Chains A and B, each alone.
Chain A
């Protein structure tokens, strides 16, 4: 049971009889009246336990966009329902009006809409709906918390999609000029043509010859569909925030742009999120829209506070794609973590694959290194220079091991990674 402000006001009105007829009797009498009114109101209130709730919720919403969660209340009682409803969304769901009052006549239903503007990528949950059914006098209410779980998937925003048209144009311009590095005729069936003297008799297509009554040979072309494996590091280093965005989110943006671009470029894309275990995996060969599968697989990713186990990555890449592929590792180049984790595992990847290591650089380090106004600032500059030198050393080591390095500030990482992909494709290195 719940009391309302009206009951408190009524109680304050009791000041008048208490002043006019001072004594315990008037106090007890007024308290009795209040208790009787509250009891009557409770008895007359519609039972909140007999209210049917149906929630309609979008499966997913992009970060930064609004969505609506609708709740249909059906009054199953024979009384008029005056109810205040609260949907217990977690605060980062950004519910604008989670608490609403509505009146539902007996046997009817009403729809409530809660506008959500999520503040963070991930899985948002609502576990309960609280109903407070007020009686006709409005002095007391019955309250029930109904378990009505709901889940909303907040997808990564994919801001980097604005780079996609220009990159796609550059990719299209490559068609027809890419150098093919495989010797021989290739393995992919291209077309049939008339036999010309000098053609390999082994390539005569007898079935086609029988149909055409003329000798026909098959022609082959080199494989065009290359494989791109994007490995996103979700270990502890991905939790670090650069310009108030976790490294993981920047990595997601870059992975999305690269995956969509590579898919449009006719390549097969495999996405892996990995730290010590596989956290998510998406293949473009599976049914459905690649981008849709990617964003919904990426939505629940969180930085895990554990060290990445890079020794297992080659096996994971092999499981995703058995052939020579472009392997993109989205990780960090912090010295220490890389030297012990990534560097020993890289040769295993570079032997078979073309490897690109992409990392977010912190623009704050450059700011720090340029500020030499005071002693403290100069020491900070020295520390920042140390970090940048270490980073450069790590990048150099990675290049020595035969991998490409893309090191850019958060806004530039996705387009620069896409550029690296286009460059490699143009050079026929895929």
Chain B
């Protein structure tokens, strides 16, 4: 049994010994370990009787890696600790971002938006005056809030999510309604008769005369004047009257009984313009007349399908979601199955790869880039002369003239021609170089 290349049972320790000069030491290589020569292969000995010693080494028995399930689990955990920590940090960051409180409210005329186009000032002043400002998240929520008691509805549906029927229903269940610049279609289903006249002409200057109330409505009268422009409506009581295309209308229009009001200029509620003129008076009186204010801003979720478009997801059977979840779990399992390696990777010490002719190629490119035609020609000429001299048995120290003399004696060409073509001509362009190089190669081959 030899110990030269014997795998040792070692608990993690590297116990391999290499015989002789593996590490580059100057140790005299030992004679090869004999081992079991009986079974060794005799290689290449048929012709010359040379035998390369074979021999086999049988290692000691190795069992296990010196660990246990517990130590493996512990070491895995220790190795995975940075990953776990990273995942926890990531999850915390995600959670903080997903928390509802931190969501930035930047919609215009939103009662939570403190920006100049928001309406937090009005909502907070109303709340300070004892009005309960409710912000339902959905149409159903709004209906629910309206049903509970005496409430004013402020409906700000700037993007027109609600249908006319929904608006009518909301209006019907509210004790008092203020609609913020509704579209013409939204007014069709209302009991009261309102019409959209059109937008007020846009004033470039800030010095346009503010509109005066000029109507019997208490809120408008209290306000006196408002600053903002907007859309004019006609209806029961028209305040802040104006004339557009021949028709008369107002920016603030209420029904005769005062239960429905249309605010044609909702921008007067914004934080930026609420302090101007009588904007604040109109806003507070219009919205703060009942103990509860339902401030409803519809979202895309409140859109009711009108029959012509069908959400394709509603056509899927209800098990599809669960199936997708389960297939996701299966794919994760498959990844774990295929991703586990059978043991660590084996390292391969790679040899250096240097092509010997590399330096010559590099020099060739240098010649070409610097257009050293004359230099290349001189080299080719010298090489040709050297080879000719060797073939003609002329001494290496012989001059080119002597070599050509010998060549003329052995070949058919006269010496003058050889001299002219080989010695006295130097190409100047790449094209000439190629032709000349081929020619002197032919001259060289002519020599027997």
Which residues of A does B touch, CB under 8 Å? 2-5, 7-8, 11-12, 14-15, 18-19, 22-24, 26-27, 30-31, 48-60, 62, 65, 74, 76, 84, 86, 88-92, 99, 120, 123, 125-130, 132, 143-153, 155, 158, 161-162, 164-165, 168, 239-242, 246-247, 260, 273, 277-283, 286-289, 291-293, 295-297, 300-305, 334, 362, 364-365, 368-370, 372-376, 378-389, 392, 396
Q: Is A53 touching B61 in the complex (CB atoms < 8 A)?
A: yes
In the complex, per-residue mask of B289-326: 1 if CB is within 8 Å of any chain A CB, else 0: 00000000000000000000000000001110111011
A379 neighbours in B (Cβ, 8 Å): 364-365, 367-368, 376
Q: A57-B57, A143-B343 are in contact. List 12 more A-B contacts (CB 8 A).
A: A8-B337, A14-B326, A15-B323, A19-B323, A22-B323, A49-B68, A146-B62, A239-B351, A288-B32, A364-B357, A368-B360, A375-B434
> In this complex, which of B16, B364, B438 has the most chain A Cβ atoms within 10 angstroms of its Cβ?
B364
In the assembled complex, B359 has its CB within 8 A of some CB on chain A: yes
Instruction: Contacts A15-B326, A53-B62 given; indicate if A380 touches B360 (C-beta within 8 A).
Output: yes
- Among B44-52, B184-192, B194-202, B261-269, the stretch in contact with A: B44-52
> In this complex, which of B21, B348, B367, B396 has the most chain A Cβ atoms within 10 angstroms of its Cβ?
B21
Q: Is B364 touching A151 in the complex (CB atoms < 8 A)?
A: no
A348 vs B48: C-alpha distance when bound (angstroms): 37
A162 vs B44: C-alpha distance when bound (angstroms): 9
Q: Is B59 touching A56 in the complex (CB atoms < 8 A)?
A: yes
Instruction: Contacts A11-B329, A288-B32 given; indicate if A382 touches B379 (C-beta within 8 A).
Output: yes
Q: Is B62 touching A378 in the complex (CB atoms < 8 A)?
A: no
B359 neighbours in A (Cβ, 8 Å): 334, 387
Taking the closest CB of chain A, its distance from the CB of B377, in whole angstroms, is 8
In the assembled complex, B382 has its CB within 8 A of some CB on chain A: yes
Q: Is B19 touching A240 in the complex (CB atoms < 8 A)?
A: no
Instruction: Contacts A8-B334, A292-B32 given; indicate if A57 touches B63 (C-beta within 8 A).
Output: no
A23 vs B345: C-alpha distance when bound (angstroms): 43
Select which of B62, B336, B382 is within 8 A of A52 by beta carbon.
B62
26 of the cross-chain contacts (CB-CB < 8 Å) are A14-B330, A18-B326, A27-B329, A31-B329, A50-B64, A55-B59, A59-B54, A59-B55, A62-B43, A127-B346, A130-B344, A145-B65, A148-B9, A149-B8, A246-B351, A279-B21, A286-B31, A289-B51, A289-B53, A292-B53, A293-B29, A372-B441, A380-B360, A382-B379, A385-B379, A389-B382
In the assembled complex, B83 has its CB within 8 A of some CB on chain A: no
The residue of chain B having its C-beta at the shortest distance from the C-beta of A62 within the complex is B43
Q: Is A305 touching B16 in the complex (CB atoms < 8 A)?
A: no
> In this complex, which of A60, A86, A143 has the most chain B Cβ atoms within 10 angstroms of its Cβ?
A60
Select which of A27, A53, A149 is within 8 A of B63 by beta carbon.
A53
B348 neighbours in A (Cβ, 8 Å): 90-92
SS class, residues of chain A in contact with chain B: mixed
A51 neighbours in B (Cβ, 8 Å): 63-64
Q: Is B47 touching A162 in the complex (CB atoms < 8 A)?
A: yes
Taking the closest CB of chain B, its distance from the CB of A75, in whole angstroms, is 11
A152 neighbours in B (Cβ, 8 Å): 5
Taking the closest CB of chain B, its distance from the CB of A303, in whole angstroms, is 6
Taking the closest CB of chain B, its distance from the CB of A285, in whole angstroms, is 11
B414-448 CB contacts (< 8 Å) to partner A: 430-431, 433-434, 437-438, 441
A89 neighbours in B (Cβ, 8 Å): 346
A54 neighbours in B (Cβ, 8 Å): 58-62
Q: Is A368 touching B357 in the complex (CB atoms < 8 A)?
A: yes
A291 vs B50: C-alpha distance when bound (angstroms): 7
A295 vs B2: C-alpha distance when bound (angstroms): 19
Q: Is B319 touching A123 in the complex (CB atoms < 8 A)?
A: no
A295 neighbours in B (Cβ, 8 Å): 52
A110 vs B49: C-alpha distance when bound (angstroms): 37
B334 neighbours in A (Cβ, 8 Å): 8
B326 neighbours in A (Cβ, 8 Å): 11, 14-15, 18, 27, 30
A26 neighbours in B (Cβ, 8 Å): 322
Q: Is B31 touching A382 in the complex (CB atoms < 8 A)?
A: no
Select which of A27, A62, A132, A300 is within 8 A of B322 by beta carbon.
A27
Q: Is A150 touching B5 in the complex (CB atoms < 8 A)?
A: yes
B108 neighbours in A (Cβ, 8 Å): none
Q: Is B323 touching A378 in the complex (CB atoms < 8 A)?
A: no
Q: Is B319 touching A148 in the complex (CB atoms < 8 A)?
A: no
The residue of chain A having its C-beta at the shortest distance from the C-beta of B355 within the complex is A241
A146 neighbours in B (Cβ, 8 Å): 62-65
A15 neighbours in B (Cβ, 8 Å): 323, 326-327, 330
A30 neighbours in B (Cβ, 8 Å): 326
Q: Is A164 touching B382 in the complex (CB atoms < 8 A)?
A: no
A370 vs B32: C-alpha distance when bound (angstroms): 48
> In this complex, which of B24, B33, B359 has the most chain A Cβ atoms within 10 angstroms of its Cβ?
B24
Taking the closest CB of chain B, its distance from the CB of A413, in whole angstroms, is 13
Taking the closest CB of chain A, its distance from the CB of B429, in whole angstroms, is 9
A83 vs B356: C-alpha distance when bound (angstroms): 49
Q: How many residues of B contact A (CB 8 A)?
A: 105
Select which of A50, A120, A378 is within 8 A of B433 by beta carbon.
A378
Instruction: Contacts A60-B54, A300-B22, A362-B357 given; indicate if A148 touches B382 (C-beta within 8 A).
Output: no
A29 vs B393: C-alpha distance when bound (angstroms): 97
Instruction: Contacts A92-B348, A155-B52, A279-B21 given; indicate if A2 touches B340 (C-beta within 8 A).
Output: yes
A72 vs B52: C-alpha distance when bound (angstroms): 27
Q: Is B318 touching A22 in the complex (CB atoms < 8 A)?
A: yes
Which residues of B does A touch, CB under 8 Å? 2, 4-5, 7-10, 12, 14-16, 18-22, 24, 26, 28-29, 31-33, 35, 40, 43-44, 47-48, 50-65, 67-68, 72, 317-319, 321-323, 325-327, 329-330, 333-334, 336-337, 340, 342-349, 351-365, 367-368, 375-377, 379-380, 382-383, 386, 396, 430-431, 433-434, 437-438, 441
Q: Is A88 touching B343 in the complex (CB atoms < 8 A)?
A: yes
The residue of chain A having its C-beta at the shortest distance from the C-beta of B438 within the complex is A372
Q: Is B434 touching A88 in the complex (CB atoms < 8 A)?
A: no
A327 vs B433: C-alpha distance when bound (angstroms): 45
A375 vs B432: C-alpha distance when bound (angstroms): 9
Instruction: Contacts A88-B346, A278-B26, A362-B356 given; indicate if A8 touches B330 (C-beta within 8 A).
Output: yes
A297 neighbours in B (Cβ, 8 Å): 20-21, 29
A302 vs B72: C-alpha distance when bound (angstroms): 38
Q: Is A76 touching B63 in the complex (CB atoms < 8 A)?
A: yes
B431 neighbours in A (Cβ, 8 Å): 375
A288 vs B34: C-alpha distance when bound (angstroms): 10
A300 vs B2: C-alpha distance when bound (angstroms): 19
A363 vs B104: C-alpha distance when bound (angstroms): 76
B12 neighbours in A (Cβ, 8 Å): 147
The residue of chain A having its C-beta at the shortest distance from the C-beta of B35 within the complex is A59
The residue of chain B having its C-beta at the shortest distance from the C-beta of A319 within the complex is B26
> In this complex, which of A5, A7, A373, A375 has the most chain B Cβ atoms within 10 angstroms of its Cβ?
A375
Q: Is A241 touching B43 in the complex (CB atoms < 8 A)?
A: no
Instruction: Contacts A22-B319, A300-B22, A368-B360 given; indicate if A151 touches B16 (C-beta within 8 A).
Output: yes
Taking the closest CB of chain A, its distance from the CB of B40, in whole angstroms, is 8
B367 neighbours in A (Cβ, 8 Å): 379, 382-383
A272 vs B360: C-alpha distance when bound (angstroms): 31
Taking the closest CB of chain A, its distance from the CB of B22, in whole angstroms, is 5
Select which of B52, B72, B322, B356 is within 8 A of A24 by beta carbon.
B322
A304 vs B21: C-alpha distance when bound (angstroms): 14
Taking the closest CB of chain A, its distance from the CB of B314, in whole angstroms, is 16
> In this complex, which of A62, A161, A365, A382 has the most chain B Cβ atoms within 10 angstroms of its Cβ?
A382
Taking the closest CB of chain B, its distance from the CB of A238, in whole angstroms, is 10
Instruction: Contacts A8-B330, A146-B64 given; indicate if A292 touches B52 (C-beta within 8 A).
Output: yes
Taking the closest CB of chain A, its distance from the CB of B208, in whole angstroms, is 62
Instruction: Contacts A8-B334, A281-B26 given; indicate if A239 touches B352 (C-beta within 8 A).
Output: yes
The residue of chain B having its C-beta at the shortest distance from the C-beta of A126 within the complex is B346
Q: Is A59 touching B383 in the complex (CB atoms < 8 A)?
A: no
Instruction: Contacts A51-B63, A62-B43, A146-B64 given; indicate if A3 touches B336 (C-beta within 8 A).
Output: yes
Q: Is A292 touching B62 in the complex (CB atoms < 8 A)?
A: no
